[in-house]
Amino acid sequence: EAQVTQNPRYLITVTGKKLTVTCSQNMNHEYMSWYRQDPGLGLRQIYYSMNVEVTDKGDVPEGYKVSRKEKRNFPLILESPSPNQTSLYFCASSLSGGGGEAFFGQGTRLTVV
């Protein structure tokens, strides 16, 4: 089954404690991205990757890092989380080249206290 898998689904952490949210896809997609979803703002792109070792900033990259060492994995790293990063996070993947739909993971609800 084609899918994007995120872990964990729920996470409560304290300010400043580094965390990583993992994302893995089994569709051999080149393009992967991270979004955060906040009420009334829709989904906003944090970072994206066009392929292995190629990453770039999206619209709201501050406070986040990513890496793409393997095609299937695209972890999101919060080096020093702050309360304004409390949000619902989604990883997505798609074929590159401007075609095809984006497949989303089930989301990670992060709370930073």
DSSP string, 17-48: --EEEEEEESS--SEEEEEEEETTTEEEEEEE
Nearer to other proteins, 43 or 52 (CB): 43
44: closest CA among 57, 31, 25?
57
Q: How far is the CB of 72 from other proteins (least distance, A)?
A: 17
Q: How far is the CB of 77 from other proteins (least distance, A)?
A: 20
> Which residues of this chain interact with other proteins, rule CB under 8 A?
4, 31, 33, 35, 40-45, 48, 50, 58, 90, 92, 94-96, 98, 101-102, 104-107
Nearer to other proteins, 29 or 112 (CB): 29
Identify whether the C-beta of residue 110 lies closer than 8 Å to the C-beta of residue 9.
Answer: no
